[in-house]
Amino acid sequence: MHKKIALIGLLILSNSVLAPLTANAQVISTSTVTTNSIGILGMTTTPVSTIQAPAATTAMSVTLTSYNAVPGQTDGSPFYTAIGVYSNPEVIAARSSDLSSKLPYGTIIAVDGPDSTGGASCGYSSVQHLIGYRVIGDAMNARMHNKVDILLDPTDKVTLGSRLLNPSIALGACVGVNIHVVGFVDPQHMPKTQADLAKLVEGSQHLPMAKF
């Protein structure tokens, strides 16, 4: 009898693909889920190429910084994030570990900017056009707290005063920046461009699975 139960359980799980839970959202591939597995495991059947809307709008105030995919600012594999996805400066953002429950990997955020100036070292207005929507796909150093770090391309020079600068240097550190959770996506099927991510968030299309 025990062998029968174990075999049934194995058959159910072998026909299922479980994705990590992300703040009330479960993203799985419908092509690999059976009717039995849905009923028993209580999973949804939303395709991985669509986003899950959050149950309620989540807003928070953080310190916003930026980084580049270079060895001095990451680890020994600068072209891949902490979860093994491509370090795409159009869509990736990192967060400090203390925000992991509020901003799990795959969380899509919108950045509103600071309440006021953001502090003396904040150059938000000079890089705002490069931020757009972002997907949490990387982690910051463990010593950081209440921070979101935007990955930017150092070749995208921006003007700050009379100087052309790496956008990460121009942004600096901005305190009191408001961010909003606008959805969740399977981080293993990350949109490739900011335009793709914007279309996905705004509901104008469902993207095919991005393959790296």
Closest C-alpha to 172, from 203, 143, 150: 150
pLDDT computed for residue 9 by the predictor: 42
Sorted by where each begins, the domain ranges of the chain are 2-41, 58-201
Beta carbons of 62 and 122 less than 8 angstroms apart? no
Q: Which CATH number describes the domain made up of 58-201? A: 2.40.40.10
Instruction: Please give the chain's pLDDT, 212 residues, in tens.
Output: 544 434 344 333 333 332 333 333 333 232 332 333 222 223 333 344 456 666 556 789 999 999 998 876 666 677 889 999 999 999 999 999 999 999 999 999 999 999 888 999 999 999 999 999 999 999 998 999 999 999 999 999 998 888 899 999 999 999 999 999 999 999 888 999 999 999 988 885 544 433 32
Q: Positive or negative, the Cα torsion across 75, 81, 85, 89?
A: negative
The single-letter DSSP state of residue 46 is -
Beta carbons of 50 and 183 less than 8 angstroms apart? no
Rounded Cα gap, residues 153 and 195, in angstroms: 16
pTM of the model: 0.70
Closest C-alpha to 92, from 131, 43, 52: 131
